[in-house]
Amino acid sequence: MRSLLFVPADSEKKLAKGLSSGADALIVDLEDSIAPESKAAARVAAAEFLKAHIGTKDRPRLFVRINALITSLSDPDIEASVAAKPDGIVLPKAEGEATVVRLDKRLMANEAKHGIDKGHIKIVAIATETAASLFRAGTYRSSSDRLTGLTWGAEDLSADLGAETNRDADGKFLDPYRFARVLCLAGATAAQVQPIDTVYVDFKNDKGLRRETEEARRDGFTGKLAIHPAQVPIINAVFTPTAEAIARAQAIVDAFAAAPNTGVVGIGGVMYDRPHLARAQTLLARAAALKR
């Protein structure tokens, strides 16, 4: 998934726009974008939307962001969402392995209740929204086979830390949030799930979005959260391997295939070793998956 677009569950208009945005996944939101007095109605709207579109062809993946497990809202969120058979749940305020295990058990019980195959519903966890979560970012590896991605959040984290802001005057993250970003990337890699970069809130700033997305790709992220449909084309473009990148990766793979017993190959005067081969194979696999 290159782009994952948040859409408020209680906005029929925004949900419709989300479907046509080109996003690889829609995150139907029951948490931050929904006012407390609207939670119950949003839950019903989310279920109706999922039931209307989950069986259609050529749709984006459909996830639901539930409210945090520590709230009284999470159980009814899970019940309503699972009944509509989404592709996955986005778990906010995750604090390591134990949080994902708790969600896994609740999903398992509700899948059985609704006759859904065990493990059908996947999990993407938001791994850095509290100070406590930072100390547990490396614990996700054995949490659940459902876990398919880790992402991170700076807005809730800054509130938990009591910070005045999370970005500098140029729009770049300050040190506490850069630290959280690295922990998410390392935690996802250690857990062998997709690392997904956080939102870029200045949704009219295309230049800033492209810069931040390119930096995320450079560092190892393979997708990014979006808060507006206009952000989706930029995110998709940045995370789609170019023809030049594919050709370069294929050349590295071919060179090692021609010399399987060597640890280093030379191409055009540049030396490549086994880590370069691993990166090339990863890029080609991602390109093939996108093509499918």
Average pLDDT over residues 19-31: 97
Query: If pLDDT is split at 50, 70 and 90, which confidence band does 291 have?
Result: confident
Q: Strand, coil or helix: what is 112?
A: helix
Q: What are the φ/ψ torsions at residue 285 (nearest 5 degrees)?
A: -65, -40
Average pLDDT over residues 163-185: 96
In tens, the pLDDT along 38-67 reads: 999 999 999 999 999 999 988 999 999 999
Percent of all residues in the chain with a pLDDT value above 90, rounded to a whole number: 90
Q: Are 222 and 246 in contact (CB under 8 A)?
A: no
Average pLDDT over residues 219-246: 96
Higher pLDDT residue, 23 or 279? 23
Mean pLDDT of the chain: 96
- Residue 80 pLDDT greater than 80, yes or no: yes
Largest CA distance in the chain: 65
pLDDT in the model for residue 249: 93
Average pLDDT over residues 252-281: 90
Rounded-to-integer distance, Cα 83 and Cα 85, Å: 6
Higher pLDDT residue, 269 or 63? 63
pLDDT in the model for residue 238: 97
Report CA-CA distances (Å) from 82 to 45, 64, 171: 14, 9, 38
Higher pLDDT residue, 131 or 268? 131
pLDDT in the model for residue 102: 98
- Residue 292 pLDDT greater than 90, yes or no: no
Delineate the domains of the chain, giving CATH numbers in brackets: 3-238 (3.20.20.60), 243-291 (no CATH)
Q: What pTM did the predictor assign?
A: 0.92
Average pLDDT over residues 79-106: 98
In tens, the pLDDT along 198-217 reads: 999 999 999 999 999 999 99
Q: Which residues of 154-163 are buried (b: 16+ CB within 10 A; e: fewer)?
A: bebbbebeee
pLDDT in the model for residue 218: 95
Least confident of 116-120, 167-171, 287-291: 287-291
∠ CA 129-213-221, rounded to 5°: 65
Report CA-CA distances (Å) from 41 to 20, 80, 89, 211: 24, 11, 19, 38
- Residue 262 pLDDT greater than 90, yes or no: no
pLDDT in the model for residue 135: 97
- Residue 232 pLDDT greater than 90, yes or no: yes
